[in-house]
A and B are shown apart, each in its own frame.
Chain A
Amino acid sequence: MTTYDIHISAAPLDVAQCIAGVMSPQSGGIDIFVGTVRDSTKGRKVLRLEFEAYEAMALSEMQKIAGSAAAQWPLHAMLIHHRTGALQVGDIAVIIAVSAAHRDAAFRACRYAIDTLKQTVPIWKKEVFEDGEIWVAAHP
């Protein structure tokens, strides 16, 4: 049985807490992805990112990802935490943590979760530059 921890928060995310949250005596490996705010995009200096979520649907899409990952690989726990609000360079926007008996399942599930989150979960980020701002991916 896989346990899930799916969360959206305006408060800072905590890597150590997320690792502890998926740890179990049965697990031989924990894989973690931490998405952080980069200081530039295509040579333009980023001042901050502003995240907004359609929260109820985002939580349900995140839960779907976790369930789908657990159906594909033998996982003990999967955690997906996403931040909202204004984030500064270096702040953590998302944490995925996965535990499994063996590393292959943990690596694959972690990669699947972040890749799918970026395609399906209704969360948006605006990049704010010194000289303008854009909603990421909005325009071709």
Chain B
Amino acid sequence: MTLNIFAFGIAREIMGGAAIGISLPEGSTVEQLISVLKGQFPALSGLTSFAIAVNGKYANIDDHISPGDEVAIIPPVSGG
């Protein structure tokens, strides 16, 4: 499946766009996605941390991702 992943803040700059297409095997977990992302964008590993949101909620590492899910990379937040 190909996911359209939203990126914000420094993740948007590292990935070179606000939305990036990533190919993943069907049924992949958030952990697998993180591994693919770090492989394609090594600078993500230099961040303090980053989370993945699925359909607008913070996802757990073992959550499965389905085609059509809204997936976003959440680098360290700094609002306020």
Contact = CB atoms under 8 A, between A and B. Distances in A.
Which secondary structure dominates chain A's binding surface?
Answer: mixed
Contacts of B56: 56-57, 60
Contacts of B74: 54, 122
A123 B78 contact: yes
Contacts of B46: 139
A136 B77 CA distance: 8
A121 B72 CA distance: 13
Given A52-B9, A57-B53, A139-B46, A124 B80 contact: no
B74 to A, nearest CB: 5
B72 A135 contact: no
B76 A137 contact: yes
Interface residues of A, number: 29
A31 B8 CA distance: 32
Interface in B1-54: 6, 8-10, 13, 46-48, 53
B79 interface: yes
Contacts of A122: 8, 53, 72, 74, 77, 79
Contacts of A46: none
A138 B8 contact: no
B80 A139 contact: no
Contacts of A125: 78-79
A128 B19 CA distance: 24
A26 interface: no
Given A121-B77, A122-B8, A123-B79, A138 B53 contact: no
A12 interface: no
Given A122-B74, A124-B75, A135-B13, 4 more contacts: A135-B10, A137-B48, A138-B78, A139-B46
Interface of A: 35, 51-54, 56-58, 60, 82, 93-94, 114, 117-126, 135-140
Interface of B: 6, 8-10, 13, 46-48, 53, 56-58, 72, 74-80
